[in-house]
Structure 1
């Protein structure tokens, strides 16, 4: 799989991502159904996901935000079952997110077909934190101002598009290979970082974060 194909997959729901991948391999598509491909992928990912470590700075950032009392939510294009497979070996990090503020592609708050790049999942995440940000179809000036207080961290282009569509401040932390596909393009993100440790919370009106900013000094 090339990075150009991978870029079109990141952030999408499982079935849409599978269909997208298979569309680039017509010979395989003739021999393998979408369901069969998903099943094979699930079996292989179950073997690997438990070994994946967070990206640089992610654990320290989550712990720092939590320690500073800053509300945090998780909004992912993965299903709940896949999220649990991806994160069960990292309880110290993911247990810090309130259970009611973990939004997945199959959460009831996200209508089918309205995952990233649509803004719905980020708006649902804001609602889970008690923020009045309106809906994808309706937004008052006060709700727009509330959206503009939100900060979204993303690694995938559909997620960047979703955060921008939600009217929030997107911090994009792409893989270098992904960034190289369209050098200089930020897709509306407010910042493009090499890694999360480059992020300065004080630039966004937040206090220094315990354990996070210490690492930057």
Structure 2
């Protein structure tokens, strides 16, 4: 395909590291319910919507609850998480992000955010990148969670680019699967022994160049 016409980025674990804040909030909720929630358990929550994450947590600890109770617990978790991310600033931007976004701008390659997080605008504002993206697709405007490709297909549509001409950067298995389901080229940010099915693998965006985007 050569150089892509657009790039789509997940937020958590690609642009910033909010996974620690998610884990702390979910672990606190599990402790309140009387159960332990480990970092290993938390791996299943990466790239997954808030309510789906809660359902996974309840499945892990073996609890069934009515929908109204689950809604309250999800909101409780989110309130703790939002308190944490309000303290984020430019120092939370992951290595290589700023330089790579600048390189894409210089090359006139459009880029969008494609995240399940409903708090994406808050995070982007706090780290000074809210106006950097050509489009933002987050949990407030999608109805299907990853691995459904909706988030990335909407991003491509907003950018006016065909899915086959897009590259996705993802750090979660659900997100990698969503990118492939969308018919896009996927670069995984993480360990190839943990994340499967991607077209390329990097440790972080400091390893990425425009030349490497060509394929």
TM range (shorter): 0.7 to 0.9
Secondary structure of the residue aligned to 1:94 is coil
TM-aligned CA deviation for residue 73 of structure 1? 0.9
Unaligned ranges ≥5, structure 2: 1-36
Alignment correspondent of 1:214: none
Counterpart selection for 1:16 from 48, 52, 55: 52
Instruction: Say yes or no: does 1:184 pair with 2:200.
Output: no
Alignment correspondent of 2:187: 171
Instruction: Please say if residues 152 and 169 of structure 1, whose CA atoms lie closer than 8 Å, have aligned partners that are also in contact.
Output: yes
Instruction: Please say if residues 50 and 87 of structure 1, whose CA atoms lie closer than 8 Å, have aligned partners that are also in contact.
Output: no
More strand by share: 2
Alignment correspondent of 2:160: 130
Alignment correspondent of 2:125: 88
Instruction: Say yes or no: does 1:103 pair with 2:137.
Output: yes
TM-aligned CA deviation for residue 21 of structure 1? 1.3
Secondary structure of the residue aligned to 1:34 is helix
* TM-score of the pair, normalised by structure 2: 0.72
Alignment correspondent of 1:140: none
Counterpart selection for 1:36 from 63, 68, 72: 72
State the Cα deviation string for residues 152-171 of structure 1 (Å, max 9, x = none).
01111111110011111111
Q: 2 CA distance for matches of 1:158 and 1:186?
A: 9
Instruction: Please say if residues 121 and 130 of structure 2, whose CA atoms lie closer than 8 Å, have aligned partners that are also in contact.
Output: no
Residues 27 and 165 from structure 1, CA distance in 2 versus in 1: closer, same or farther, beyond 3 angstroms?
Answer: closer
TM-aligned CA deviation for residue 185 of structure 1? 5.0
Alignment correspondent of 2:29: none
Bigger shift: 152-161 or 57-66? 57-66
Q: 1 CA distance for matches of 2:105 and 2:197?
A: 27
Instruction: Please say if residues 71 and 129 of structure 1, whose CA atoms lie closer than 8 Å, have aligned partners that are also in contact.
Output: yes
Alignment correspondent of 1:200: 209
- Is the radius of gyration larger for structure 1 or structure 2? 1
